[in-house]
Amino acid sequence: MVNEGRWEDLLLKVKVKPGDFFYVPSGTIHAIGSGILILESQQSSDITYRVYDYNRTDAQGNKRDLHIRQSIEVTQYPHQDPTLTYHIKQEGQAVFTELCREKYFSVSKWDIRGQSKTITKDWPFLLASAIKGNGELVIGDKTFSLNTGDHFILPAAIQEFSLEGQCELIVSHVV
């Protein structure tokens, strides 16, 4: 199918809607369609193989290089959708849903509706992205506003914090 350019037969298209979560394990061919905004959490890698490029060309009419052989070598097949088990914990006015935990990282959705209890960070750092609403991050006697589209990192030195407001966050950390 690759050699014949039968991409419609080979690749699966998935309709998406706001708020969807997809875990895409390493070795899975994937792409993001036009008009879709995503937040991607991933294990750092210096390698991306391009297996298909929608026949796009640059200003001079040149197509970008493809990496067919390398892609085939690292692709996991046959494809199997990963089994996800969400772990949900409610504390006061906050709901913490672990969406994915794998070898290198964890991804969670935090739904804050009011004020969270003090959160003790058990990880070396925490990366958070506000995906909806407004709120505040409180660290000691300092308060920082949070709005949709804001991102922050809590480094190792910050052990405790709380969140207030009406907001949803996607939170990632190493395992």
**Catalytic residue positions?**
50
Question: Can you read off the two tokens belonging to residue 19?
Answer: 């708020």
C-alpha 26/C-alpha 48 separation (Å) is: 11
Q: Cis omega before residue 18 (within 30°)? A: no
Strand, coil or helix: 65:
coil
Strand, coil or helix: 69:
helix
What's the length of the chain? 175
CB 113 within 8 A of CB 166: yes
Nearest-5° angle of CA 120, CA 83, CA 91? 25
Query: Taken in order 144, 146, 150, 156, is the CA torsion positive or negative?
Result: positive
C-alpha 171/C-alpha 119 separation (Å) is: 13
